[in-house]
């Protein structure tokens, strides 16, 4: 297929619910898409400003300063030592990388791209654009023999599913048996909330406890959009297998996929500062602590969601009926059907609205305006 064969952008189907929610006397509370609303930290904005004399073409490979900052960040925050600058590569946000990876790897007709059963839809879109076959499956034992690329997402969007070290090791072993690339989308790894993730670091697929001494065919994808409020900067990166990173660098040079030089400088500043990340997490925690009990009090069950940026909620009925119920309260959610065939009775609620609006949503859910 080509990009001309893609269905309409799915969020267009939410327009009627947005319009209904906007008619609430106290205004809409938009908990749908999850775009950051908090200020970009000053340390990052200052770094961007001091790099605005960007008269030359930027480097696709990334500046040496940025690449070293990525290497140091993986060692410090993700428990992944011994990476070198040859193992990392900046990208123009993470969505373009997710969408383009099957194409950049040369996949096509007859190749299978595995992705989670409850999943961010771009994994499937990327497979279809490349002419490959998307295959939703979480069980490594069920991954097909002609699988060439496997996406896992930990913590997951939308459901917060988080893979343990042991589960990741099983996935790596199966991917190696298939000769497939295993790419782990880890963009919400700093946001652990409950269970073991309240105290433990969410593991990376590049963690030495997972890799058994080899990063071959393993990739970790990360974004600064949420933890640093850089969604508008399009600031992300990939790390892992040096051979694949080198191949991706070559084709990205040909395609001109290069993050702007000021953004690269700002990314390096963001990666070196942990304080703003901790502060942002506490903002999300405050909103989660307001919203979760209110959603449950309104009769929803929260599934998963022990990590990540969302609450994955169900009333055990059609998601569109839940969307309507929430819209009548002036609350806009994300419909579960956007995230796969297994999601027809769930809605996704984001923690990215301003705290006072999350508090307003909680008040409405607790207040019986049903």
pLDDT tens-digit profile of 113-131? 999 999 999 999 999 999 9
Asked if 34 and 123 sit in the same domain, the reply is no
Asked if 34 and 93 sit in the same domain, the reply is no
Q: Is residue 281 part of a domain?
A: yes
Task: Choose the final residue of a domain: 273, 302, 321.
Answer: 273
Q: Is residue 266 part of a domain?
A: yes
Q: Is residue 46 part of a domain?
A: no
Q: Is residue 47 part of a domain?
A: no
Asked if 354 and 317 sit in the same domain, the reply is yes
Would the pLDDT of 288 be above 80?
yes
- Single pTM value for the model: 0.94
pLDDT class of 369 with cuts at 50, 70, 90 = low
Structural tokens at position 2: 């080509």
Q: What is the total count of domains within the chain?
A: 2
Contacts of 329 (CB under 8 A, 6+ apart): 21, 24, 361, 364, 365, 369, 370
Structural tokens at position 26: 């106290």
pLDDT class of 370 with cuts at 50, 70, 90 = very low
Asked if 323 and 266 sit in the same domain, the reply is no
The CA–CA distances, whole Å, from 85 to 69, 124, 234, 328 equal 9, 30, 20, 52
* pLDDT score, position 6: 61
Task: Choose the final residue of a domain: 247, 273, 299.
Answer: 273
* pLDDT score, position 126: 97
Contacts of 336 (CB under 8 A, 6+ apart): 158, 312, 314, 319, 343, 344, 345, 346, 347, 348
Asked if 71 and 121 sit in the same domain, the reply is yes
- Distance between CA atoms of 276 and 279, rounded to whole angstroms? 5
pLDDT in tens, 221-261: 999 999 999 999 999 999 999 999 999 999 999 999 999 99
pLDDT in tens, 155-177: 999 999 999 999 999 999 999 99
Asked if 359 and 261 sit in the same domain, the reply is no
What is the share, in percent, of the chain residues with pLDDT greater than 70? 96
Helix (H, G, I), strand (E, B) or coil at 312: strand
Give the structural domain span for 7. Answer: 3-39+276-366
Q: Is residue 134 part of a domain?
A: yes
pLDDT in tens, 296-316: 999 999 999 999 999 999 999
The alpha carbon torsion through 38, 42, 48, 49 (nearest 10 deg) reads 120
Q: Is residue 128 part of a domain?
A: yes
Task: Choose the final residue of a domain: 222, 253, 273.
Answer: 273
Asked if 180 and 282 sit in the same domain, the reply is no
Q: Is residue 45 part of a domain?
A: no
* pLDDT (average), residues 72-97: 97
Asked if 101 and 212 sit in the same domain, the reply is yes
Q: Is residue 49 part of a domain?
A: no
Asked if 102 and 181 sit in the same domain, the reply is yes
Asked if 203 and 126 sit in the same domain, the reply is yes
Asked if 258 and 148 sit in the same domain, the reply is yes
Asked if 351 and 259 sit in the same domain, the reply is no
CATH at 14: 3.90.1150.10
Sheet containing 301-303: which strands, arranged edge to edge? 301-303, 310-314, 346-350, 334-335
CATH at 259: 3.40.640.10
Report the mean per-residue pLDDT for the chain.
95
Helix (H, G, I), strand (E, B) or coil at 247: helix
The CA–CA distances, whole Å, from 62 to 171, 237, 343 equal 30, 10, 38
């Amino acid at each position: 297929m080509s990009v001309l064969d893609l269905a309409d952008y799915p969020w267009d189907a939410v327009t009627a619910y947005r319009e209904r929610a906007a008619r609430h006397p106290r205004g809409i509370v938009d908990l749908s898409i999850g775009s950051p609303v908090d200020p970009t930290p000053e340390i990052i904005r200052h770094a961007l400003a001091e790099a605005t004399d960007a008269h030359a073409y930027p480097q696709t490979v990334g500046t040496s300063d940025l690449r070293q900052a990525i290497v140091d960040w993986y060692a410090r925050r993700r428990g992944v030592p011994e990476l070198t600058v040859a193992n990392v590569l900046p990208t123009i946000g993470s969505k373009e990388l997710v969408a383009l990876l099957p194409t950049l790897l040369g996949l096509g007709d007859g190749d299978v791209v595995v992705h989670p059963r409850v999943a961010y839809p771009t994994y499937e879109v990327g497979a279809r654009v490349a002419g490959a076959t998307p295959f939703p499956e979480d069980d490594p034992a069920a991954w097909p023999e002609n699988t060439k690329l496997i996406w896992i997402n930990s913590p997951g969007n939308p459901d917060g599913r988080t893979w343990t070290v042991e589960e990741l090791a099983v996935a790596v072993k199966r991917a190696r048996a298939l000769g497939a690339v295993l790419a782990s989308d880890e963009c919400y790894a700093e946001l652990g909330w409950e269970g073991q993730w309240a105290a433990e670091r969410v593991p990376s697929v590049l963690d030495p406890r997972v890799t058994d001494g080899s990063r071959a065919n393993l990739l970790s994808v990360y974004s600064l959009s949420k933890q640093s409020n850089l969604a508008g900067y399009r600031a992300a990166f990939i790390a892992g297998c040096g051979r694949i990173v080198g191949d991706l660098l070559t084709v990205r040079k040909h395609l001109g996929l290069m993050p702007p030089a000021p953004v690269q400088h700002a990314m390096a500043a963001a990666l070196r500062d942990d304080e703003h990340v901790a502060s942002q997490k506490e903002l999300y925690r405050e909103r989660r602590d307001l919203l979760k009990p209110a959603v449950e009090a309104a009769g929803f069950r929260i599934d998963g969601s022990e990590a990540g940026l969302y609450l994955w909620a169900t009333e055990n009925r059609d998601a569109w009926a839940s969307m309507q119920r929430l819209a009548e309260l002036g609350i806009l959610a994300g419909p579960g059907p956007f995230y796969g065939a297994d999601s027809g009775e769930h809605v996704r609620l984001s923690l990215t609205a301003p705290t006072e609006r999350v508090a307003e949503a909680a008040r409405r859910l607790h207040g019986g305006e049903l």
